[in-house]
Copies of this chain bind each other. A is one copy, B any other.
Amino acid sequence: MSTDGPFELWAIGVVRSPLGDPDAAPKQGSEGGEEAWVELDPRWLEALDDVTPGDRLLVLTWLHLGDRSTLKVHPRDDRSKPLRGVFSTRSASRPNPIGLHEVEVLEVDGARLRVAPLEAVDGTPVVDLKPVI
């Protein structure tokens, strides 16, 4: 149980979404995120028991397009705004580019969940699901 890392994060599934272009995708789901499918690998089906339509979930993703060497960003890619440390922003570019998306579960179909709103682009790896508490 090493605590030094690095730790190996597994893709448990993938986002299937009409959003394909990261530059066109909304910054937050509340700003026009789409309905999307979270497709889990069927090996995790049992872990999905008790997730039902109407649940509010946090979808954790691996923002594979983020730049891990970035320490400061212009918030919302707006160059008129001063640079900020990435830990005071939700930028996808950060040392560990984990995305956090609050969604409602609309449908459960086997190991697939239809959710909204989700601003992650098609193909984004999913690494965890947690209930909102």
Q: Which residues of B contact A12 (CB under 8 A)?
A: 95-96
Quick one: which of A51, A64, A88 has the most chain B CB within 10 A? A88
Interface size classification for chain A = 35 or more
Chain A residues 1 to 55 lying within 8 A of chain B, measured CB to CB, are: 1-12, 14, 28, 44, 46-51, 55
**Closest chain B CB from A70 CB (angstroms):** 8
Q: Is the CB of B10 within 8 A of A96?
A: yes
Q: Is the CB of B5 within 8 A of A125?
A: yes
In whole angstroms, how far apart are the Cα atoms of A46 and B87 in the complex? 9
In whole angstroms, how far apart are the Cα atoms of A46 and B83 in the complex? 11
Q: Which residues of B contact A98 (CB under 8 A)?
A: 9, 60, 98, 127-128
Q: Which residues of B contact A65 (CB under 8 A)?
A: 1
Q: Is the CB of B8 within 8 A of A3?
A: no
In whole angstroms, how far apart are the Cα atoms of A50 and B87 in the complex? 8
User: Does A106 touch B at the CB level, under 8 Å?
Assistant: no
In whole angstroms, how far apart are the Cα atoms of A63 and B65 in the complex? 25
Q: Which residues of B contact A8 (CB under 8 A)?
A: 6-9
In whole angstroms, how far apart are the Cα atoms of A44 and B95 in the complex? 9
Neighbour of A133 across the interface among B7, B47, B90, CB < 8 A? B90
User: Quick one: closest B residue to A68, CB to CB?
Assistant: B10
